[in-house]
Amino acid sequence: MERKKLELELNKPKHIEMLFDSPKIGESQYGTYYLYAVRNGDGDEYSFFATDDVHEKLSGLKKGDAAVITKVATQKGSKVVWWRSKCSDAS
C-alpha cells in the first residue's frame, strides 16, 4: 500500500496514531532517515519522515499509540534559520 506523505503546516498541530511499533530506518544522500507509517485524524494513512529530535520522541511509542506533532520555525532576527518539528503525547 502506498501512503501519501504527511505534510505539516507551520504551527498547526497534527494528531497522529502509530501504525507500527517502529519506523523504517535507512540511509540516503542526506543521511539517516526515519520513515513512520501513521494515521491522521481523517482516517487516512500517511508516511511521515521524522527529524532526529522527533524520532527520539516517537521511538518510544508503539502501534496504536497517539501523539501530536507540530512544525515550528526558529527565527534569528528577521530570518528563519532552520525548521524542526516538535512532538508531544496526545493523552
Q: What is the pLDDT of residues 32-67, one digit of tens each?
A: 999 999 999 788 999 999 988 889 889 999 999 999
Q: Which residue has the higher pLDDT, 32 or 73?
A: 32
C-alpha cell at 51: 527529524
Question: Which of 59, 69, 63 is closest to 17 using CA atoms?
Answer: 63
Full-model pTM: 0.80
Q: What is the pLDDT of residue 52?
A: 87
pLDDT band at 27; cut points 50, 70, 90: very high
pLDDT over 90 for what percent of the chain? 47
